[in-house]
Chain A
Amino acid sequence: MPRSVHITAPIDPLETRIKQLRIPKARQKQLRAMMDEARARMAREEQVRLEERIVPEEKPQNASAAD
């Protein structure tokens, strides 16, 4: 088994970590917008997947109700 380490050092605040990257504010805004778009797109895709999973299960029930 490879060894593992238990980390006790506190995580640096998010703002500090962002500052260390030295990315201009305007570019940060663009990147955040890009990530928000990706989140929305992935949420939509997940919704479609969920609906596709539900529909085949419902169809037989509807069919039997119609009979």
Chain B
Amino acid sequence: MPLPPTDPNAVFLNIPYDEEFHRLYLAYIVGLHVLGFTPRIASGIPGGERRLDRVIALIQSCRYSIHDLSRVELSPAPPATPRFNMPLELGMTVTWAKLHPKRHTWFLWESMPMRLQKSMSDLDGTDPYIHSGTAEGVLSQLRNAFVRDGAAPIQRMIECYRLVESNVERILDEAGTRNIYSASVFRELCFVSLDAASSAGDELQP
């Protein structure tokens, strides 16, 4: 069976879909667009297939993936439950990359240094990027992880982020939803991020 095609600029985002993560989610979307990448999330593709199949297809289609394991706390809503989706998707990605190292590279992200050694000791020897739970942290660490000649300076990335952030409420209102992770809102956030990125400087153009 032939391997599925890989988009060299696509980045699969394995993140928690919760309210506390909105700002960081937005920072990932804006930052990746400014750096010339295309972020992809599980909710950003049409439904119909089983979720796990969609996730596997997504991982296979992306050259890179970011696994943000900063939410290891139990969910506040009863029953208090740990999140296992992200470690599961990380495990699938690690396997895929192990089988096809030239097709996929994965990165770990955390908000606190050293915590990963405790939460997932099997990954000892893999240093995560630490974003400290801030949008600025995500943006600067994206720039450190993905080194691209002529990349926009961090200040410009922050300006793009603020510009997009100022429109989030309006986009949600006009979409008639409060779910920032919905497929239609994700697409529009990508569009405005591209618009912000394209006006942020010549270095962002191909």
- Residue numbers of A with Cβ under 8 A of B are 1-7, 9-14, 17-18, 20-23, 27-28, 30-32, 34-35, 38-39, 41-42
* B148 contacts partner chain A, Cβ-Cβ < 8 Å: yes
Known: A7-B146, A12-B9. A38 touches B107 (CB 8 A): no
- Chain A residue numbers with a CB within 8 Å of B128 are 2
8 A Cβ contacts from B129-172 to A: 129, 144-148, 162-163, 166-167, 170-171
How far is B167's CA from A28's CA once the two chains are assembled, in angstroms? 14
Q: Of the 9-residue stretches B50-58, B76-84, B95-103, B192-200, which lies at the interface with chain A?
A: B192-200
Residue pair B188, A31 in contact (C-beta under 8 Å): yes
Residue pair A4, B145 in contact (C-beta under 8 Å): yes
Residue pair A32, B145 in contact (C-beta under 8 Å): no
- Chain A residue numbers with a CB within 8 Å of B145 are 2, 4-5
Known: A6-B147, A18-B194, A23-B191. A39 touches B163 (CB 8 A): yes
Residue on A nearest B64 in the bound complex, by CB: A5
- Chain A residue numbers with a CB within 8 Å of B148 are 6-7
- Residue numbers of B with Cβ under 8 A of A are 8-9, 35-36, 38, 63-64, 105, 107-108, 126-129, 144-148, 162-163, 166-167, 170-171, 174, 187-188, 190-192, 194-196, 198-199, 204-206
- Chain A residue numbers with a CB within 8 Å of B162 are 42
Known: A7-B147, A34-B170, A38-B166. A1 touches B195 (CB 8 A): no
- Chain A residue numbers with a CB within 8 Å of B199 are 39
Q: Kindly identify which residue among A2, A17, A31 contacts B107, using a CB–CB cutoff of 8 Å.
A: A2
- Chain B residue numbers with a CB within 8 Å of A5 are 64, 105, 145-147
Residue pair A11, B205 in contact (C-beta under 8 Å): yes
Q: Kindly identify which residue among A2, A18, A22 contacts B108, using a CB–CB cutoff of 8 Å.
A: A2
- Chain B residue numbers with a CB within 8 Å of A7 are 35-36, 146-148
Report, nearest first, the 9 A-B pairs whose CB atoms are least far apart.
Answer: A11-B36, A9-B8, A11-B206, A2-B127, A7-B148, A6-B147, A38-B166, A35-B195, A21-B187
- Chain A residue numbers with a CB within 8 Å of B167 are 34-35, 38
- Residue among A2, A10, A12, A30 with the highest chain B CB neighbour number at 10 A: A2
- Chain A residue numbers with a CB within 8 Å of B127 are 1-3
Known: A5-B145, A10-B206. A21 touches B166 (CB 8 A): no
